[in-house]
Amino acid sequence: MAQFESSQHFSEREKLALRLAVAMARTPAQISDELYAKLRSQFSERELVELSAVIAWEDARARFNRVFAIQSQNDSHGQFCPLPEQ
């Protein structure tokens, strides 16, 4: 289970967005009907389109950076984003 699932630092709505990001980062990306239904209950169609686009862009950017071995610029000041689940 991903650590965000048990964290008290994220609202249920935020956890849904993170679940979508995890599902979209998998290969192949598969969004279950159950997850989609939960997302639609919390996000408007417009919000879900924007959220999905941002997640897809960040995933593509991260994959692009790996080709050229581009590393973090250490701008996080002690915070970090863990790698996607395997």
| 77 is a domain residue | no
Structural domain harbouring 11: 3-67
The predicted structure's pLDDT at residue 85: 58
| 75 is a domain residue | no
| 30 is a domain residue | yes
| 82 is a domain residue | no
The predicted structure's pLDDT at residue 75: 62
Q: What percent of the chain is modeled with pLDDT above 90?
A: 56
More confident residue, 12 or 79: 12
| 72 is a domain residue | no
What are the pLDDT digits (tens) for 19-53?
Answer: 999 999 998 999 999 999 999 999 999 999 999 99
Q: How far apart are CA 75 and CA 28, in angstroms?
A: 31
Q: How far apart are CA 5 and CA 14, in angstroms?
A: 10
Q: Number of folded domains in the chain? A: 1
DSSP letters for 12-25: HHHHHHHHHHHHHH
